[in-house]
Amino acid sequence: AQKVTQAQTEISVVEKEDVTLDCVYETRDTTYYLFWYKQPPSGELVFLIRRNSFDEQNEISGRYSWNFQKSTSSFNFTITASQVVDSAVYFCALAPNSGYALNFGKGTSLLVTP
C-alpha cells in the first residue's frame, strides 16, 4: 500500500521566515516517484518538483529546496525567506513505478503574513 503523511495541517509564519513542510511516505516499491504541488487560493494545482527514488541529491530552486532521505522515508520542502505569495496549500504526492495515479497527502496550509 502507498501512503503519504503530511502531519502539519496548518503553518503560519511571518514574512521572511524560513519554513519547512514535512512529508513522510510509505511504499513497498523500490522504484517510485515523489512530487510536490502548490495549490493557491485560485485552486489550480501547480507542479513544483518530481524526484525518483534513486536520486537522493537535494535540490534547490531559488527560494525552494527539497531534502529527500530514503532512510527516513521523508521528502521535506523548505521555503527560504518566505513571502506572502507563498501562502497556499502544499501537497506531497507519491507515484509507484508500475502505476500512474498520484497518491496525495492531505496537504499543509501555509499562511505567510506581512
- Least Cβ distance, residue 13 to other proteins (angstroms): 21
What is the residue-wise DSSP string for 3-39?
EEE----EEEEETT--EEE--EEE-S-SSEEEEEEEE
- Interacting span for other proteins (CB under 8 A) from 11-19, 59-67, 72-80, 103-111: 103-111
Paired residues of 14 in beta bridges? 113
93 binds other proteins (CB under 8 A): yes
Helix (H) or strand (E) holding 90: strand 88-96
Among the listed residues 3, 50, 63, 70, the single contact to other proteins using CB under 8 A: 50
Minimum CB separation of residue 27 from other proteins in Å reads: 14
Indicate whether 75 belongs to the interface with other proteins (CB under 8 A).
no
